[in-house]
Amino acid sequence: MKKFVNNMLVAAMIATGIAWGGVVSAQTDLDAIMMNKNQFCQGITYDYSSWDHYWEGTFKRDNANLGTVSTQALMYMPNYGITNNLNVMASVPYVWTKATQGTLHGVNGLQDFSVFVKWRPLVFSSGKNKFSLFAIGGFSMVLWGIALKTVIGWHFTWLVNSATHLWGSRRFDTRDDSRNNGLIAAVTFGEGWHNNHHAHPRSARHGLAWYEFDINWIQIRLLEKVGLVSNVYAYSEKAERAELTPIQEAA
């Protein structure tokens, strides 16, 4: 059924392009194709993706908390040739997300609206070769404010769940291969002290030593001081030394 829907969307895109643009050419803001003057082309794209497993270090785990996470995107893209060397194009994507389990709620709506201008100021030939110089510019209404920071946040989360199970030191003798990694902690504001987190998952504080800088913990403490959060649990190695034996002491 999904393949049938994809084929129908492609057929609709081609038919629409023929009806409105005369000649159909695949074009985006990053390719080297230009629309001719006064030529208009439009198309619709559909994308579907889903995942129900993820990697944590060298372990491939079931995504039991979220089940199967799926994303569908339907995008309309018009393109107009102002001149043979100056094109303006836009993209209007509508996105649906869904998780089959857990507390993650699916959302749907217009994710981003983008407008781009593509300019070809220089074209010259050398033998059988043709060279072109392009300049591209535009804006995306929520790309920088929402989409980009969300994607970066996801990748930092996955970086923690992979790299800190491969490289770093182990303060606590936990039953997994979690490790503390100062470099990962630096770029994730303290999440890289992953072995500490696995040893004491309830603790809002991951950096337990003076040299384990934890910006996230500092922010939480500030919010607690001004009364915006309460009942924050932070592991204290002195107060709860007997909770889990450090490797160096066990040895």
- Same-domain check for residues 134 and 90: yes
Q: Rounded to whole angstroms, how far apart are CA atoms 168 and 165?
A: 8
Residue 129, CA atoms < 13 Å, CB-side half-sphere: 3
Output the pTM of the full model: 0.43
The answer to whether residues 167 and 114 belong to one domain is no
102 or 12: whose pLDDT is higher? 102
Tell me which residue of 39, 43, 16 sits closest to 28, measured CA to CA: 43
Residue 118 lies in a domain: yes
For residues 105 and 224, state if they share a domain: no
User: Can you give the pLDDT at residue 87?
Assistant: 92
119 and 65 in a single domain? The answer is yes
Does 8 score more than 90 pLDDT?
A: no
Total of domains in the chain = 2
- Write the pLDDT tens digit of every residue in 13-64: 545 544 444 444 456 667 778 889 999 988 888 989 888 887 777 778 787 7
Query: Same domain for 41 and 110?
Result: yes
152 lies in a domain? no
Q: Are residues 33 and 91 in the same domain?
A: yes
167: domain range? 162-250
Over range 102-119, report the average pLDDT: 82
For residue 191, tell me if it sits in a domain.
Answer: yes
Assigned domain for 157 exists: no
* Tens-place pLDDT, residues 182-211: 898 888 888 889 998 888 888 888 888 888
Q: Which pLDDT belongs to residue 141? A: 59
